[in-house]
Amino acid sequence: MVGDSTVAAGGGRRRGRFLPAVALQRWALWRLPRRGHTWYLVAVDVLAVAAVVLAAIRFPPLAVMLVPFALLAGGMLVSAELSRPVERHREDTLLGPGVDTPWIFAGVLVLRPGLAVALVALSALHQWFRVRRRPVYRQVFGAAATALAGLVAGAFLTATGARPLGEVLEARTVVLLAAAGLVFLAVNAALVTAADGPRRPREALPGHAFDAAMTAFALPLAWAVVAAPLLVPVLAGATVVLHRGGLGHGRRDHVTLDPGTGVLTAASWRGAAEAELDRQGRHGPGPAVLLLDLDHFRQLNDRYGVRIGDAVLRAVADTLRDEVRAADLVGRSGGEEFAVLLPGTGPFDATAIAERIRLKIASTLVALKATGDGPQFVGVTVSIGVAGRGPADDLADTLLAAEAAVLRAKALGRNRTICAEPRS
């Protein structure tokens, strides 16, 4: 997978090995520092697959549910596509689906388990291809946690004897549906917190409010799918307007994307980075800053033209988004320069991340044209400067240190990573 690719010198695929086995061995999941963390993520994934299979066998999908499924799937994909500018820069909450949450939980309320989990899979695929790419193991775990939360919420409704949704909702049914929403939130939160650790209450509160609001919106949406399908597009539009207008309080405000690469502009990156530094304060490690300068980019532009140069910039930006976490800030700081802010990351870990990025960019190729001898490709290398924030540093000081490290990397021959000396 793209988000977990690594470059190994001379690493060719051995004969007789299946490609899926090779891909699994190279999964970034196996490189996590804590083995217990790795096996926890694997256990949740396996448990989710087993639970989905058992639930689908016990409660097989019904033909009558195909129309509600189509309404929910179509509405979810359309609203998710319209909400992409917000979702790309929304800070992570405990519920990964974000704006897809009401559609997924509505599926839990009105569909059999197999179809409800199919909505989770569609949401994960849309996020991967259209929103933002996390490391594959994180994307899989997020989908598994959401699927398990939905299955547990559905089991709660079955155990309590909640009546199917109809044109008239009794008070008891509404209470049980709301309770199922709390179960959905609690199970997902427990699974994610066990993987990532608890968050500070001040930081977690906006995300909890956002998740609760998205889950609550599923109740009228589920009713509309069953009793008034024509209301579904209206509710979908309301979801998008509320989401883009600020319902997702955890998103990063006032961001502007660079039209050529899709990352933050220099001004937006600096504003978001300063806000992140203010939010984090002086507690804990980091943040660290990476500055990346493409080597000999002007010569590449002159030789192959601006169109190829722009394609190379887009490829580098895509690689950066693939190789960092969703909470990290990626921006374009100049013509052929990029900047990355890594919250909660010390210089040592930041250098390892930078080196992984450098190797990945060096292996990224852009197609030029097809000729009689086959396709031609062009690539680029990058020099990276790494700087951790010192005890008395602000963002400007950290950027200056990272810039000095970039200049050292170029002076030493380019295509290398240099970490700035710690500052007292």
pLDDT in tens, 349-364: 899 999 999 999 999 8
Say which range, 143-152, 246-255, 407-416, has the weakest mean pLDDT: 246-255
Q: Does residue 21 register a pLDDT over 90?
A: no
- Which tens digits make up the pLDDT trace of 384-421? 999 988 776 778 888 989 999 999 999 999 999 999 98
**Exposure b/e, 215-242, CB count within 10 A at least 16 = b:** bbbbbbbbbbbbeeeeebeebbeebbeb
In the chain, ranges of CATH 3.30.70.270 domains = 266-419
| Topology given in CATH for the domain delimited by 266-419 | Alpha-Beta Plaits (3.30.70)
Report the interhelical angle of 395-411 vs 266-280 (nearest 10°). Answer: 120
CB 104 within 8 A of CB 151: no
Q: How far is CA 383 from the centre of its chain?
A: 26
Is this prediction's pTM over 0.75?
no
Cα 123 from Cα 80, distance rounded (Å)? 8
User: Sorting pLDDT into bands at 50, 70 and 90, what band is 93?
Assistant: low
Is the pLDDT at 164 greater than 50, yes or no? yes
- How far apart, in Å, are the Cα atoms of 294 and each of 304, 332, 347, 367? 15, 12, 21, 18
Bridge partners, residue 290, by sequence: 340, 386
Q: Which residues contact 386 (CB under 8 A, 6 or more apart)?
A: 288, 289, 290, 347, 350, 351, 354, 402, 405, 417, 418, 419, 420
**Average pLDDT in the chain:** 81
